Amino acid sequence: MKRYLSAMFLILSALILIIGLRFDYQWSGIASWGLSFICLIFAAYFTKYIPNEKKGKKQS
């Protein structure tokens, strides 16, 4: 399940930006970009759980 978290955080980041920038409230841009940046940091962190296909194969 952890290997899918990276993709989920990327999608969540895009949704936050799309929805958050539609509102015309004061500080809504800063809040949506801040939340999106946090989601991107989590997405980068969880990339270490994506399996590496080369690692599992035997080298000859």
60 vs 29, which has greater pLDDT?
Answer: 29
Task: Give residue 27's pLDDT.
Answer: 86
| Two tokens, residue 38 | 């946090």
Show me where the domains of the chain are located: 2-48
Distance CA 39, CA 26 (A): 22
| Two tokens, residue 28 | 């809504």
The count of C-alpha atoms lying within 13 angstroms of the C-alpha of 5, restricted to the half-sphere facing its C-beta, is 13
Give residue 15's pLDDT band: very low, low, confident or very high (50, 70, 90): very high
Q: Where are the alpha helices (DSSP H) in the chain?
A: 5-20, 28-45, 53-56
What average pLDDT does range 13-21 have in this prediction?
A: 92
Averaged pLDDT score across all residues of the chain: 87
Distance CA 14, CA 17 (A): 5
Task: Give residue 10's pLDDT.
Answer: 95
> Structure pTM?
0.78
